[in-house]
Amino acid sequence: MPRETPTFRIAVLAGDGIGPEVTSAAVAVLHAVGERFGHAFATEPALIGGAAIDATGDPFPAATRAACDQADAVLLGAVGGPAWSDPKAPVRPEQGLLALRKHLGVYANLRPVKPHPATLAHSAIKAEVLEGVDLLVVRELTGGSYFGRKERHADRAVDVCEYSIGEIERVARQAFRLARTRRGKVTSVDKANVLETSRLWREVVSRVHREEFPDVVLEHQLVDSMAMHLIARPRDYDVVVTENLFGDILTDEAAMLAGSMGLLPSAALGEGAQGLYEPIHGSAPDIAGQGIANPIAAILSVAMLLRHSLGLHREAAAVEAAVDTILEAGRRDATRRPRDLGGTAGTAAIAMAVLAALPPMTPARPADSPFPAIALRD
């Protein structure tokens, strides 16, 4: 009897704006990987953000929590948009995203930045500055001012930034472990000359380094100077670890090194294998529904999902190689290049190009594959 193929369960939270479009492309690639490598992926859609508010009044409803709890990994699109942008509204889409991260316990957000040679000309930064850049930002994801006490009064507002020793230790360890697999250097970013939380951050990161990872090189950098150095000399950095707010800002800045936010994926990890995967871009409501959004960041998020949550390293590398292939093709042909990089290819065209660039189906797969056909039209 043929061996039964295990099924990986993936919760798909498309969200708002361009989220459903780029997530659909990413799911198509995921199923194609299943066909070619002999895996079964069961994808379960669920609501989050503005779409969830409209349907249930809750940006992170109970049904979505249940779908995530039962999943091996979670794939997210984007949340938010003008329809839910009233700052006085009691419920906002971003609350669903924060609640999701907290519920999953994913405290380390991994955001790789490695500009492709074919996209260097599309960055605002000089190509010679970008050559050889390969850095990984590890952003603490469930602490800081995003999760601290919030107050709004007639004449003032309060956002409390708070970190515990344990929260800093665990994300620092993640950064040091990752550095051991890369070039062996960690840059810890804080504002220790002003903020008490940053002083604690620096003390804890230094101790974890000294006691557990003395083989890794550690340097400290203030966040304001880091914002400058990230553009002036990005090649100097390997793994960058920082707190929630600083990481949010710096990774959007780092996206410009790659030429577009539409190219950059992310993974949010906790203690177990389950993770949350999403492109770093937002919901881009101005282009939603037009079929022109770049799905590459979402597709590369699938590659990170395959690697970090499912342990499918060969499959992840195949997706990344397929993306490399179409970016290289787009260097010579604007009709095969995403629109945010000056090309004319829409969401579906890019997705189909990635599918075509994946390795052929393995001979062991039967002709009557049980997986659904991928139907994408530009």
The beta strands (E) that lie in the chain are given as 7-15, 40-45, 73-78, 108-113, 135-140, 150-152, 157-159, 185-190, 217-222, 239-242, 265-269, 275-279
Give the whole-angstrom CA distance, residue 106 versus residue 109.
Answer: 8
The DSSP line for 148-187 is: S-EEE-SS-EEE-----HHHHHHHHHHHHHHHHTTTSEEE
Give the whole-angstrom CA distance, residue 254 versus residue 285.
Answer: 22
The DSSP line for 220-288 is: EEEHHHHHHHHHH-GGG-SEEEE-HHHHHHHHHHHHHHHT-GGG-EEEEE-SSS-EEEEESS---TTTT
Q: Is 248 a catalytic site residue? A: yes
Give the whole-angstrom CA distance, residue 280 versus residue 81.
Answer: 15
Closest CA to 318 of 259, 350, 351, 360: 360
Q: Is 88 a catalytic site residue? A: no
Q: Is 224 a catalytic site residue? A: yes
Q: Is 252 a catalytic site residue? A: yes
Query: Which residue type does 99 have?
Result: A
Exactly one of 146, 163, 237, 277 is catalytic; name it. 146
CA end-to-end span of the chain, whole Å? Answer: 41
* Cβ atoms < 10 Å from Cβ of 53: 24
Distances (CA, A) of 282 to 80, 139, 342: 8, 17, 19
Q: Is 185 a catalytic site residue? A: no
Exactly one of 191, 237, 238, 340 is catalytic; name it. 191
Q: How far is CA 194 from the centre of its chain?
A: 30
**3-state class (DSSP) for residue 115:** coil
Exactly one of 69, 215, 224, 378 is catalytic; name it. 224
Instruction: Say if CB 17 and CB 81 are below 8 A apart.
Output: yes
Instruction: Say if CB 28 and CB 355 are below 8 A apart.
Output: yes
Residue 363 half-sphere exposure, CB side, CA atoms within 13 Å?
0
Catalytic residues: 146, 191, 224, 248, 252
